[in-house]
């Protein structure tokens, strides 16, 4: 197991089975840029798994629930589809763009 990101120790522990090492592995970073990008991946992986589990739980609940009150429909579509996704994506985009600026400045490109 190589150095892993600060953000996803739990997830990475679960993934120890898969293994992150290897001479060409992006998850076994050997430099500054690679380290930051590996961190980014672990953050996104944890977020993605949480969202995926959330959607699946919601879908299973929907399959069991019968005749829920319709007033909640717009709340679900607006809350889940618009507000939640805009918030998450905006935060992620800021993180990604800031990182891009730093990496490009650091490597002297762009």
Partner 1 sequence: MTDKTKVSSQDQEELRRKQEERLLTAWSAPKSWRYWSAVNNSEVGQWYTLTALSFLIFAGVLALIMRAQLAVPDNDLVSPDLYNQLFTLHGSVMMFLFAVPILEAVAILLLPELVGARDLPFPRLSAFGFWCFLIGGVFVCGSIFFGAAPSGGWFMYPPLSSDPAQSGIGADIWLLGLSFIEIASIAAAVELIVGVLKFRAPGMRINLIPLYAWYTLVVGGMILFAFPPLIAGDILLEVERAFDWPFFDADRGGSPLLWQHLFWIFGHPEVYIIFLPGVALIAMIVPTFAQRPVVGYSWIVLAAVGTGFLSFGLWVHHMYTTGLPSVSLGFFSAASTAVAIPTAVQIFAFIATVMFGRLVRSVPMLFAAGALAIFVLGGLSGVMVALAPFDWQAHDTYFVVAHLHYVLIGGMLFPVIAGVYYYFPFVTGKALSEKMGRIGFWLMFIGFNVAFLPMHFTGLRGMPRRVYTYPEGLGWDWLNLISTLGAFTLAAGFAAIVIDIFRPKGKQPYCQRNPWNAGTLEWLEEIPDQPWGVRSIPIVQHRYPLWDDPDFIGKVDRGEFYLPDAEELRRETMVTSVLDAEPIQCLRVPGPSFLPMITAVFTGAAFIAATFHLYWPTLAAGILAFASLIFWLWTGTAEIPEKEEKDVGLGLSLPLYRSGPHSVGWWAMFITMLGDAAAFASLIFAYFFYWTIHSDFPGSPTGAWALFCYGIGIAAVLGAWALTFASRRWNAAGAVSASRLAIIAAIVLALASGAALLAAPYIDGLDPRLHAYPAIVWILVLWTVAHIGIGVVMLGYCLARSLAGRLTPRYDIDICNVALYWHFAAINGALAPMLVALFPLAV
Q: How far apart are CA 62 and CA 45, in angstroms?
A: 25
Instruction: Map residues 52-71 to x or -, x wherever contact with partner 1 holds by CB under 8 A.
Output: x--xx-xx-xxxxxxxxxx-
User: Could you tell me which residues come within 8 angstroms of residue 107 by beta carbon, excluding any fewer than 6 positions away?
Assistant: 33
| Residue from 11, 35, 37, 46 binding partner 1 (CB under 8 A) | 37
| 46, 7 Cβ separation under 8 angstroms | yes
Which residues of the chain form contacts with partner 1 (CB under 8 A)? 18-27, 34, 36-37, 40-41, 44, 48, 51-52, 55-56, 58-59, 61-70, 72-74, 76-77, 80-82, 84-86, 89, 92-93, 96-97, 99-101, 103-104, 110
């Amino acid at each position: 197991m190589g150095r892993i990101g600060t953000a996803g120790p739990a997830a990475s522990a679960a993934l120890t089975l898969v293994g992150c090492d290897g001479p060409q592995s992006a998850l076994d970073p050997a430099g500054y840029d690679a380290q930051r990008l590996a961190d980014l991946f672990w953050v996104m992986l944890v977020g993605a798994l949480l969202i995926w589990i959330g959607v699946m739980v919601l879908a299973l609940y929907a399959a069991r629930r019968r005749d829920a009150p319709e007033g909640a429909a717009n709340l679900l579509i607006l809350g889940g589809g618009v507000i939640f996704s805009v918030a998450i994506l905006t935060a992620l985009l800021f993180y990604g763009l800031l990182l891009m600026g730093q990496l490009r400045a650091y490597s002297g490109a762009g």
